[in-house]
Structure 1
Amino acid sequence: MPTYATPPDGLRRLVASLDRQTLATDEFEIIFVDDGSPDGTIDRLRDVQSTRPHVRIEQIENSGWPSKPRNVGTSVARGEYIAYMDHDDELYPDALRGAYEFAKAHGSDVVNGKEAYTHTPNWALKTYTGDLPQVIGRRDQHPLIPMNPHKLYRAAFLRDHDIRFPEGRKVMWEDAFFNLQVARHAEVISTLSSVPYYHWVVTPGSGSTTFLKWAEDYWTMLRRVLEATESELAGSALEPQRMQLLRHQYEARVVGVFDQKFMKRPEEARVFLFDHARALQTDFGLTRFDDQLSSSRRIRAHLLAANDRARLEQVCREDVPITGWSRARSLGWRNGILHVEAEADWSEKDGRRHALEREGDRILKRFSPAVTSGVPDEYRDVTSEVTDATVQLSVRSRSSRIVWHTDSSREITIADAPDGGVDISGRLVGTIDPMSAAFGSRLNSTHWDILVLTAAMNSVNHRNMLSDIPASLTITDGHLHIVYPNDGGYATVIPDGHREAVRRLSPVSAVSTESDEIVITLDGDHDGSGVVDTVAGLDETVDGDGDFQDVPATIRVADGVATLTLRPPASTFRLRVGDRTASRPTAWRVRVTDTGVDLDPELPPPPPTPPTPREPAPRSTTDASQGDRPLFARIKRRAGRTLRRWGLR
């Protein structure tokens, strides 16, 4: 790990993840190489070292980039394999054990382990499709994507071929240059998908930032990456890998610069980006990949090659991504497995949809005449892209951010729209088995949000599935699993969620038993049978001034009905149950009498009545556009608009 002015919280997170490793501490060493930090980073590292004999610290003069610290660490490392980390990321608990054993079993030079990215659920999911001992020759994408160094490398392999990170004070994509050398010499590259490996953590102020595209050094370094791709992967044997990576850079960074943000930039920036992208397209003959691009990017590539900036800018205005979203239509447990039916739609909040039109048996992108006149019809043909639209079910851990795809099928509907266009929608049917959804393993007992990946033409989205379907649970083989609509209106599953079940299901009725217990019937239709232990919040102070204390309880399911059983401490008390349902009672007052059990909800007070809107103040005659805003507020507002216009915010 290279460190430089490492945020204390980031260092604590990283060290905690290493402390949680299932690999014994005498089987791995931790090497921090501090790049001349000007703050207290080195002291914090020594504190870490003082209680961990397997931690080493190296100090070097500031080099200005992570490359030299990584090279220093590689030189002094004694391990059979080397894992690189950034100073504020984390490894999943079984990462080192799982990756090392997989590498040893298959003689791997590199193991590309399953990675998660904090705010991007679909990050690199196309890579992690299986446990693949050998992925050299993989046809769908390059085996080292994502091209970062968050992998496990065989140390002797790196040293035998003198593979190092390029050093310097600012070497963008140093990881790409490093992995190009790896790709040139590696004989076995493996992909490990069943064991979560690396969490690339993104937080405010973290090192995970986007390079400024409107800058000369961005394009200088991108040119160097393309040159290195051609030189490192030269020759017929490496041609497939060379083509994959050239196309990747062309699609993602050259043509990809003409995205929805492009037209928000000032004209000077648009000219700059257009000229630099066109120079790379020409100099490296990248138009050879145009037939492999989606329609949206193929059109942009065509206009870039034609030096038609005006028409390309018009395409960027008209051809904007329409992100898909999904809503649950049915959520129900059957024998411990959650069955999901959902609808998917591609539309914006303002009702805007993909601009499509029919021409015989074809579906074409619809543009204004000014664009259509300069783009061949075959470039606008999206028939196959529409029919191949993706709707796929998945679950994502709210804590670890790891994503697992689950079994699902989809049906795409193409319909003529009233305005003469074409609408697309989808239907998904799938299952989630909490005992095997994690690539054959069970989901751990945390919140798993249900997500749907939707992809059609120029839009890919992976977002939570909307749901207003009431909570339900299953008890199968002694495990209670619950699905419910969370506070944001999305579907969430908790495996072994016996505590949450008490708070997500409302009481319907209650009875007392001869053994002085009370049995509360909970609302909803449920699955399975059995009894599990749980706790319920109870307050013996009837006036509501006390704190809720957890008391033992049980949840039973039989014949589709769930009941909560507990032993009351008195004849009258307050019970916290169902407080996270839609009605959100603060608690229930429970009164046990000779004739039965009374349940009365305590509802929170209604929100205060909003004040009557005042008439707007008269606008200032000196600045009609800003009213009588204070001078500082006007300056701040204008600065914000300027930054957004330049694409810097």
Structure 2
Amino acid sequence: MPAPEVTVIIAAFDAMPYVSRSVGSVLRQTLGADRIELIAVDDGSTDGTADELDRLAERVPLMRVIHQPNSGGPAGPRNLGLDRATGRYVFFLDADDHLGPEALERMVAAADENGSDVVLGRIVGEGGRRAPGSMFRRNQPRTDVFASRVYWTLNPMKLFRRELIDRLRLRFDTGLSIGEDQPFVATAYLEAAAISVVADHDCVHWVAREDGNNITAQEHGARTRVDLFRKMTGLVAAHAPAGPGRDTLMHRHYAIELRDAVLQLSREPQRELRDKLLHELADLVALHWTEGLAARLPAVVRLRCHLIRRRLLGELLTLVRWELDRGAASYGITTLAAAAAAGPELRIENGRAYALYPYFRDSALGIPDDCYDITTELSVRHRVDSARIDATGLRLAGHARIHRISPRDVTTGLILRKRGTDTEHRLPVRHTPTPGLGADEDGGLYAYDLAGYDVTVDLATLTPGVWDLSLAVGAQGIVKEARLGSSRADSVTTATTTLVTEAGTAVALYTTKPYGNLSLDVGENRHRVRPHLRVTGAEWSADTPATLVVKGRCSLADRPRGALTIVAEGADGAEEHTPVEPASSDGTFTAQIPCTTPGERELTLRLTTATGQWSVPVPPQPSLNPARWRRLGLPWYAKPLPGRDALTLRVGRVELLKAVRKRLTRR
């Protein structure tokens, strides 16, 4: 029997009734049960989990159940499963959770197509469990820990190439009672040839158990949290040289593991042990502290690190209580409180925003303002409500505001930046009222009643190139930029709109991938005019002699009036133009082409402006027979000529003597 594609390892301890659904989700994979090896390790369960696993295995040839005494955590059972794995890939699934039906098929395909050693499938939470999301905003065929947000999820529910695991001799750290998966996953990330992200399918369902016994929901002690922070920062320092890359990875541990360590420190009843652990944390924080790291951290994390480094235990505990009172929540299972964190009050000074965390400008402590400066953390919330473009201009309307900054002294403007250059145009907008905007946010504390904008872009001012559209949203001296278009009203289409201006310049308004931001293509850099010109057929008029009826479509959104014609060009270069005016909103047209001029004429659909010209041939019509009519009592004809790239007609008077000879010859 060939080796399985994937070995799924389930470490189970007292997981009833969840384990039945977990195993069932593996057996129902579209990859096929015959391509999956399932190893379930019962870690000394006492609630019937062991019997349930044995019952399920009786019906599944490729499912093996291993029983062992309780080891105290998932590391040992996972390692035992790894020792027995034979699949090309390995996937770790917690007994509480379950897979989406196509999860393994999609992840294996991503790994095979991209040569990836690790594949992340989108995680969704169930029962109130919070799942990581920043790394799943789009599919990523090949990425790494520095070019994406994958490092912010270090749980092991991912697809790993077993060759990588064996080569690195990766195993879960049985010495860690919490976060035992982090060294395993982080090392695999850092050593992987490539990492893939499958974001367009719900691959892993994270379930919050009703009894609250998910391992990540348990408090553990301050010592274990400090040890985990030490372990992970040391691992990062060993794998990534000092610099921006290392700072990027350290950010995750200073923001999450350090915070959780401080939380547990605040719950430690022994003052002597608290002091000892605080000193250990102070040394660890200082060991890897850089200005680059500080610049990446949110202000509250900088404040936390400042208090730790100065060993200010009382002030640190005050900050923890302040956060708890406002419902700060942890990554994964909620650790601090179930409610979403309420933001601090703000002070706006000289174009900077300061959060009024504890001890702001306390004269005795002298904590730097930088520990409270959240200006870079403020987000712009915006929406495009209207985007209309024609041959004269682009008109945009919507609203934009800086979250938690009331729009007083508003200075919002539109920015057009020419991609690949330093060229930019800044246009003022007309500020419009937006009564009630934001009333359903932040308890209605902030009013955004003048956040609307209305602006028109004169297309004639733009030179050829791709122009990206952004807003510089300003209020109370604070200015934040945001690319425009990712948020839009339902009435605003994402379809590309292409037109030709009165000056003869091709312009396309389109949305970029994957985020849907707005850009203007001036001069056919990416969006061509010619595909918008199409002839669908030609036939002789049933009512008007010597008239060819040409049908087609011009799908341009706009063009100069009279610029579109059917051109009949003779061998001597002489041209006859018949204007074409689409009669419906979809651009379809019917043109009546008189064919009375003697000679050969090649037919073309042409858009002509003062500065440019676009043409498509009227295609040959194999079923078009010659036309015959009489003029002044004499017979005339028009017939298509074979072997031409465009429909070419020969028009002439029938020579009676030749016609008689041909008729006699046929007899």
TM-score (norm 1): 0.51
2:163 corresponds to 1:156: yes
Residues 292 and 234 from structure 1, CA distance in 2 versus in 1: closer, same or farther, beyond 3 angstroms? Answer: closer
Q: Contact 2:42 / 2:77 at 8 angstroms: preserved in 1?
A: yes
Q: Contact 2:380 / 2:401 at 8 angstroms: preserved in 1?
A: no
**Mapping 1:72-151, distance limit 5 Å:** 72-119=80-127, 123-136=131-144, 138-139=146-147, 141=149, 143-151=150-158
Which secondary structure does the structure 2 equivalent of 1:384 belong to? helix
Which secondary structure does the structure 2 equivalent of 1:113 belong to? strand
Q: Contact 1:255 / 1:277 at 8 angstroms: preserved in 2?
A: no
Residues 392 and 125 from structure 1, CA distance in 2 versus in 1: closer, same or farther, beyond 3 angstroms? Answer: farther
Which secondary structure does the structure 1 equivalent of 2:21 belong to? helix
Kindly state the Cα deviation for residue 176 of structure 1 after the two structures are TM-superposed: 0.8
Kindly state the Cα deviation for residue 73 of structure 1 after the two structures are TM-superposed: 1.9
Q: Contact 2:16 / 2:47 at 8 angstroms: preserved in 1?
A: no
Q: Deviations over 1:211-235 (max 9, x none)?
A: 536432332343223223323x144
Residues 272 and 391 from structure 1, CA distance in 2 versus in 1: closer, same or farther, beyond 3 angstroms? Answer: farther
Higher RCO (CA < 8 A, seq sep 6+) = 1
Which secondary structure does the structure 1 equivalent of 2:152 belong to? coil
Q: 2:353 aligns with which of 352, 356, 363?
A: 363
- What is the CA–CA distance in structure 1 between the aligned matches of 2:359 and 2:61, rounded to whole Å? 71
- What is the CA–CA distance in structure 1 between the aligned matches of 2:71 and 2:268, rounded to whole Å? 33
- What is the CA–CA distance in structure 2 between the aligned matches of 1:254 and 1:59, rounded to whole Å? 36
- What is the CA–CA distance in structure 1 between the aligned matches of 2:40 and 2:357, rounded to whole Å? 55
Which secondary structure does the structure 2 equivalent of 1:84 belong to? strand
Kindly state the Cα deviation for residue 206 of structure 1 after the two structures are TM-superposed: 3.2
Residue aligning to 1:304? 308
Q: Deviations over 1:113-133 (max 9, x none)?
A: 101233557621111121111
Residues 298 and 28 from structure 1, CA distance in 2 versus in 1: closer, same or farther, beyond 3 angstroms? Answer: same
Residue aligning to 2:178? 172
Residues 160 and 424 from structure 1, CA distance in 2 versus in 1: closer, same or farther, beyond 3 angstroms? Answer: same
Kindly state the Cα deviation for residue 97 of structure 1 after the two structures are TM-superposed: 1.1
Which secondary structure does the structure 2 equivalent of 1:51 belong to? coil
Residues 287 and 317 from structure 1, CA distance in 2 versus in 1: closer, same or farther, beyond 3 angstroms? Answer: farther
Q: 1:219 aligns with which of 220, 226, 230?
A: 226
Q: 1:70 aligns with which of 74, 78, 88?
A: 78
Q: Contact 2:12 / 2:45 at 8 angstroms: preserved in 1?
A: yes
Q: Contact 1:250 / 1:256 at 8 angstroms: preserved in 2?
A: no
- What is the CA–CA distance in structure 1 between the aligned matches of 2:103 and 2:76, rounded to whole Å? 25
- What is the CA–CA distance in structure 2 between the aligned matches of 1:380 and 1:316, rounded to whole Å? 15
Q: Contact 2:38 / 2:62 at 8 angstroms: preserved in 1?
A: yes
Residue aligning to 2:490? none
- What is the CA–CA distance in structure 2 between the aligned matches of 1:369 and 1:158, rounded to whole Å? 48
**Mapping 1:84-483, distance limit 5 Å:** 84-119=92-127, 123-136=131-144, 138-139=146-147, 141=149, 143-168=150-175, 170-203=176-209, 204-212=211-219, 214-231=221-238, 233-235=239-241, 242-255=246-259, 257=261, 268=271, 271=275, 274-285=278-289, 289-316=293-320, 354-366=344-356, 371-373=361-363, 374-386=366-378, 388-389=379-380, 411-412=401-402, 414-415=405-406, 424=446
Kindly state the Cα deviation for residue 25 of structure 1 after the two structures are TM-superposed: 1.4
Q: Deviations over 1:40-77 (max 9, x none)?
A: 43332221012222312233454433223222322322
Residue aligning to 2:60? 52
Q: Contact 1:36 / 1:60 at 8 angstroms: preserved in 2?
A: yes
Kindly state the Cα deviation for residue 258 of structure 1 after the two structures are TM-superposed: 5.2
Residues 225 and 379 from structure 1, CA distance in 2 versus in 1: closer, same or farther, beyond 3 angstroms? Answer: closer
Residue aligning to 2:36? 28
- What is the CA–CA distance in structure 2 between the aligned matches of 1:18 and 1:60, rounded to whole Å? 22
Kindly state the Cα deviation for residue 426 of structure 1 after the two structures are TM-superposed: 6.3
Which secondary structure does the structure 2 equivalent of 1:357 belong to? strand
Q: Contact 1:137 / 1:240 at 8 angstroms: preserved in 2?
A: no
Q: Deviations over 1:139-161 (max 9, x none)?
A: 453x3431011000112221122
Q: Deviations over 1:293-321 (max 9, x none)?
A: 11222222223223334444454566778
Alignment-mate amino acid for residue 98 of structure 1:
R
TM-score (norm 2): 0.50
- What is the CA–CA distance in structure 2 between the aligned matches of 1:108 and 1:150, rounded to whole Å? 16
Q: Contact 1:415 / 1:423 at 8 angstroms: preserved in 2?
A: no
Which secondary structure does the structure 2 equivalent of 1:85 belong to? strand
Q: What is the aligned-residue RMSD (CA, Å)?
A: 3.9
- What is the CA–CA distance in structure 2 between the aligned matches of 1:83 and 1:56, rounded to whole Å? 15
Which secondary structure does the structure 2 equivalent of 1:21 belong to? coil
2:18 corresponds to 1:10: yes
Alignment-mate amino acid for residue 54 of structure 1:
L
Kindly state the Cα deviation for residue 243 of structure 1 after the two structures are TM-superposed: 3.1
Kindly state the Cα deviation for residue 264 of structure 1 after the two structures are TM-superposed: 7.8
Kindly state the Cα deviation for residue 252 of structure 1 after the two structures are TM-superposed: 1.4
Q: Deviations over 1:154-187 (max 9, x none)?
A: 122211222222335x543221111132133211
Q: Deviations over 1:247-291 (max 9, x none)?
A: 2111212246556x9878768386566444323213444676222
Q: Contact 1:391 / 1:426 at 8 angstroms: preserved in 2?
A: no
Residue aligning to 1:640? none
Alignment-mate amino acid for residue 185 of structure 2:
N
Kindly state the Cα deviation for residue 367 of structure 1 after the two structures are TM-superposed: 5.9
- What is the CA–CA distance in structure 2 between the aligned matches of 1:223 and 1:416, rounded to whole Å? 44
Residues 60 and 291 from structure 1, CA distance in 2 versus in 1: closer, same or farther, beyond 3 angstroms? Answer: same
- What is the CA–CA distance in structure 1 between the aligned matches of 2:40 and 2:267, rounded to whole Å? 42
Residues 134 and 366 from structure 1, CA distance in 2 versus in 1: closer, same or farther, beyond 3 angstroms? Answer: same
Bigger shift: residues 310-319 or 104-113: 310-319
Which secondary structure does the structure 2 equivalent of 1:56 belong to? strand
Identity over aligned residues, as a percent? 26
Q: Contact 2:143 / 2:195 at 8 angstroms: preserved in 1?
A: yes
**Mapping 1:498-577, distance limit 5 Å:** none
Which secondary structure does the structure 1 equivalent of 2:216 belong to? coil
- What is the CA–CA distance in structure 1 between the aligned matches of 2:268 and 2:407, rounded to whole Å? 36
Greater Rg, structure 1 or structure 2? 2
Residues 229 and 266 from structure 1, CA distance in 2 versus in 1: closer, same or farther, beyond 3 angstroms? Answer: same
Q: Deviations over 1:323-357 (max 9, x none)?
A: 89xxxxxxxxxxxxxxxxxxxxxxxx9xx973222
Alignment-mate amino acid for residue 213 of structure 2:
S
Q: Contact 1:296 / 1:319 at 8 angstroms: preserved in 2?
A: no
Q: Contact 2:299 / 2:372 at 8 angstroms: preserved in 1?
A: yes
Residue aligning to 2:465? none
- What is the CA–CA distance in structure 1 between the aligned matches of 2:383 and 2:61, rounded to whole Å? 46
Residues 35 and 323 from structure 1, CA distance in 2 versus in 1: closer, same or farther, beyond 3 angstroms? Answer: closer
Q: Contact 2:361 / 2:369 at 8 angstroms: preserved in 1?
A: no
Which secondary structure does the structure 2 equivalent of 1:23 belong to? coil
Alignment-mate amino acid for residue 376 of structure 1:
P
Alignment-mate amino acid for residue 415 of structure 1:
S
Kindly state the Cα deviation for residue 112 of structure 1 after the two structures are TM-superposed: 0.9
